[in-house]
């Protein structure tokens, strides 16, 4: 059987594979490495969009698609019957949680304003001091999966109070249901979005959601851009009542003339939370495990069900 992966460097990171497995690098659909027959296992490029899914229907023997991303929104509903879709749950926990911590601290300690002052060679102490701080804050984490848990663990030393939210409540784990957001949002100083993009979460952050946030609260989006309605987000941020740290936007890339670029209360990064040097070793460790399970006839991990 053949396995297609998108990185030449991935070959050395897979670990030992059964002898019947042939791994080939396929990083450009316009230049296939071999005939499409007998490709049973495909790893698309990291953050591949909807366009990449066209290849699904050209691989007659395909049985499993293993994504390198935690989100599967571009693939859900497009995978042919009989093909299993798996995401990279767990691979991005350290990097995304790390980005969220950095973004929260940067906004609360006024790093964007200080960076602008540095670029202008201004000693801006009187403009920003005293800054806000993370200690004592109430952090609402919307998305209680593996990344949400990793974030909670990393924020624990900062002496914050946590509330975790998932699709449905899990009282035994102290996780609240999404239906409780109208009550929870006004209590939070920091609101972090870590949910996958599904039909249920698309537009979750709308006018009502934003209006429920307390004055001075910080919204952090490390999920997907369309989880927030951009027009509602821009309107609320324009009032100056809340601030935001965004690794994702809708659309992406954000047009150069978009108002979000010039808002002083917005910190933006270009969808880089998961793009770290440790990504490929972690990702291909998972891919190798999944290939071995597939060949052994064992059920794969991280199977995507209902968009999750």
Q: Does 58 score more than 90 pLDDT? A: yes
What is the percent of the chain with per-residue pLDDT over 70, rounded to a whole number? 100
For residue 308, the model assigns a pLDDT of: 80
The first and second tokens of residue 44, run together, are: 């698309």
For residue 116, the model assigns a pLDDT of: 96
- Identify the active-site residue in 89, 167, 224, 229: 224
- Averaged pLDDT for residues 15-35: 96
The answer to whether 180 is a known catalytic residue is no
The answer to whether 252 is a known catalytic residue is yes
185-235 per-position pLDDT tens digit: 999 999 999 999 999 999 999 999 999 999 999 999 999 999 999 999 999
Question: Which region among 39-43, 47-51, 130-134 has the lowest average model confidence (pLDDT)?
Answer: 47-51
For residue 298, the model assigns a pLDDT of: 98
The SS3 assignment for 24 reads strand
- Identify the active-site residue in 24, 161, 252, 298: 252
139-191 per-position pLDDT tens digit: 999 999 999 999 999 999 999 999 999 999 999 999 999 999 999 999 999 99
For residue 2, the model assigns a pLDDT of: 98
For residue 29, the model assigns a pLDDT of: 87
4: closest CA among 18, 280, 19, 27? 27
Q: Does 43 score more than 90 pLDDT? A: yes
For residue 306, the model assigns a pLDDT of: 83
- Averaged pLDDT for residues 62-69: 97
For residue 163, the model assigns a pLDDT of: 97
For residue 47, the model assigns a pLDDT of: 86
Q: What is the mean pLDDT of the chain?
A: 97
Q: Does 307 score more than 90 pLDDT? A: no
For residue 205, the model assigns a pLDDT of: 98
- Identify the active-site residue in 7, 214, 271, 285: 271
For residue 30, the model assigns a pLDDT of: 87
For residue 145, the model assigns a pLDDT of: 94
- Asked whether the whole model's pTM tops 0.75, one would answer yes
What is the percent of the chain with per-residue pLDDT over 90, rounded to a whole number? 97
Give CA–CA dist 40/49, Å, rounded: 21
- Averaged pLDDT for residues 33-55: 95
The answer to whether 7 is a known catalytic residue is no
Domains of the chain, start order: 2-91+276-296 (3.40.50.720), 92-268 (3.40.50.720)
For residue 200, the model assigns a pLDDT of: 94
CA distances from 176 to 45, 96, 140, 274, 308 (A): 35, 22, 10, 26, 18
151: closest CA among 185, 183, 110, 195? 195
The first and second tokens of residue 142, run together, are: 């919307």
């Amino acid at each position: 059987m053949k396995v297609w992966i998108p990185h030449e460097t991935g070959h050395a990171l897979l670990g030992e594979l059964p002898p019947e497995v042939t791994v080939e690098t396929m990083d450009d659909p316009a230049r296939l490495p071999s005939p499409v027959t007998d490709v049973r296992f495909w790893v698309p490029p990291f953050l591949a969009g909807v366009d990449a899914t066209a290849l699904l229907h050209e691989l007659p023997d395909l049985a499993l698609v293993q994504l390198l991303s935690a989100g599967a929104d571009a693939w859900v509903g497009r995978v042919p019957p009989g093909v299993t879709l798996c995401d990279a749950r767990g691979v991005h926990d350290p990097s995304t949680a790390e980005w969220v911590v950095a973004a929260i601290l940067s906004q609360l300690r006024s790093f964007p304003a200080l960076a602008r002052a540095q670029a202008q060679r201004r000693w801006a102490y009187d403009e920003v001091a005293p800054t806000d701080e993370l200690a004592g804050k109430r952090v609402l984490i919307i998305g209680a999966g593996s990344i949400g848990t990793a974030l909670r663990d990393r924020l624990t030393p900062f002496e914050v109070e946590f509330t975790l939210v998932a699709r449905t409540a899990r009282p035994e784990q102290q996780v609240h249901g999404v239906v409780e957001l109208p009550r929870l949002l006004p209590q939070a100083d920091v609101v972090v979005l870590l949910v996958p993009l599904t039909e249920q979460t698309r537009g979750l952050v709308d006018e009502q959601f934003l209006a429920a946030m307390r004055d001075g609260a910080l919204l952090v989006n490390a999920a997907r851009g369309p989880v927030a309605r951009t027009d509602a987000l821009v309107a609320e941020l324009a009032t100056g009542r809340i601030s935001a740290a965004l690794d994702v936007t809708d659309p992406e890339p954000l047009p150069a003339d978009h108002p979000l670029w010039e808002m002083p209360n917005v910190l933006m990064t270009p969808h880089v939370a998961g793009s770290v040097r440790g990504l490929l070793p972690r990702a291909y460790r998972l891919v190798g495990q999944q290939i071995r399970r597939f060949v052994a006839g064992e059920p794969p991990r991280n199977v995507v069900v209902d968009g999750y």
